[in-house]
Amino acid sequence: MTGTSPATSATSGKTRFRDRGRFGQALVTTLVFLAVLWAVQIINWASGNRLVSFGIHPLDFSRFWGIVPAPFIHVNFSHLIANTPAVAVLLFLVALSGQKAVWASTIVTTIVAGVGVFFFGGENTVHVGASILIYGWAVFLAVRGFFTRSIPEILLGIVVLVVYAGLFWGILPNQPGVSWQGHLFGGVGGAMTAWGAGRPAVKHRRQAKAVDAKV
């Protein structure tokens, strides 16, 4: 009887993931993320929506940790259903750039938006929902090309701006019960990630040109 160690299995899993190609990796990443969101909502529903209390409670320092789970929790199934299409499209587009882009945009957006909502979200409110990440990914895709100076990424950004133009009205305080603060600071997080992605990309391009010039 033969077997494999956990380390070997993990390495094998990573290899299979890389072998899927960029499109396949992006698809798997998106489906897994959506599965997590729906699993969390099923648990939330089964618990009588108690998970909502794990969201962001502005200025309540005893619950500051809520900035981490907040983007994965939804008020109800209607809330999740409304966010699902945008999550699927935008996360897939981000994931086409690689797992580093997914992790960077998601983590930075979660932290920046979470901190922003915590301090400016208004007392006696609770903020949850993947729209925090949706705005972060949308802005990341929209402006990244201008920082990286990549023509394909600029064109993709223009497409995102055109398709999701109506989304950006959500950063204004014009809808009761909607966390415009989460949308606004989510977008700030996405812009910061795009800026961070641009610096090494431009540096790498300059180094490549320098090498070509020497040759």
- Contact assessment for residue 170 and residue 178, using Cβ atoms and an 8 Å cutoff: yes
Say what the pLDDT of residue 18 is. Answer: 58
Say what the pLDDT of residue 131 is. Answer: 96
Q: Let me know if residue 203 belongs to a domain.
A: yes
The answer for residues whose C-beta is within 8 angstroms of residue 167's C-beta and 6 or more apart is: 86, 134, 135, 138
Q: Let me know if residue 13 belongs to a domain.
A: no
Q: Let me know if residue 124 belongs to a domain.
A: yes
Q: Let me know if residue 137 belongs to a domain.
A: yes
Q: Let me know if residue 177 belongs to a domain.
A: yes
Say what the pLDDT of residue 7 is. Answer: 54
- CATH number of the domain that residue 111 is part of: 1.20.1540.10
Say what the pLDDT of residue 21 is. Answer: 86
Say what the pLDDT of residue 177 is. Answer: 82
C-alpha 186: how far from its chain's center? Answer: 9
Please count the other Cβ atoms lying within 10 Å of the Cβ belonging to residue 5.
Answer: 8
Say what the pLDDT of residue 43 is. Answer: 98
Q: Let me know if residue 4 belongs to a domain.
A: no
d(CA 168, CA 171): 6
Per-residue model confidence as pLDDT tens for the chain (215 residues): 334 455 555 555 555 555 568 899 999 999 999 999 999 999 999 999 999 999 999 999 999 999 999 999 999 999 999 999 999 999 999 999 999 999 999 999 999 999 999 999 988 999 999 999 999 999 999 999 999 888 999 999 999 999 999 888 888 887 888 899 999 999 999 999 999 987 655 555 554 444 444 54
Domain count, the chain: 1
Q: Let me know if residue 139 belongs to a domain.
A: yes
Q: Let me know if residue 6 belongs to a domain.
A: no
DSSP category for residue 157:
H
Q: Which pTM does this prediction carry?
A: 0.85
Say what the pLDDT of residue 200 is. Answer: 59
- In the numeric block, the tokens 């890389």 are attached to 18
**Structural domain for 68, as ranges:** 18-214
